[in-house]
Amino acid sequence: MELEPDTTPTWEGLPRFVLGDCGTDRFFVIHLHRPRFVGEVFENEDDSFEIEPLWIDPASEAGGTAEQEALIRDAAEFYLESFEWERDEEPEDDRDRY
């Protein structure tokens, strides 16, 4: 008798990004596909923000600086779109993208 499911869940089966908070005014964008990272969002006084990543996977999996910067830009776009959803605006249908 097999108790395990036929298909083992993988990281790639999860959403690409999720948004998290810790019950305070701190927000995090979590990238669940490899290379994985948790990015803390730091908002500036001029309504801009920066995402400071903490890499979960080794730096070699994150590629070079250009690839890392592209992931951070994608995380920033996800963060902005998450708040559009919160304000009841219709988000673009990019389910395959994230």
**pLDDT tens by residue, 34-87:** 899 999 999 999 989 999 999 998 866 767 888 899 999 999 999 999 987 655
- The dihedral sign for the CA sequence 34, 23, 80, 76: negative
- CB–CB of 77/91 below 8 Å? no
Q: Which residue has the higher pLDDT, 8 or 56?
A: 56
Residue spans per domain, the chain: 14-86
Which two tokens mark 64? Answer: 């070079």
Residue 96 DSSP one-character state: T
Mean pLDDT on 84-94: 56
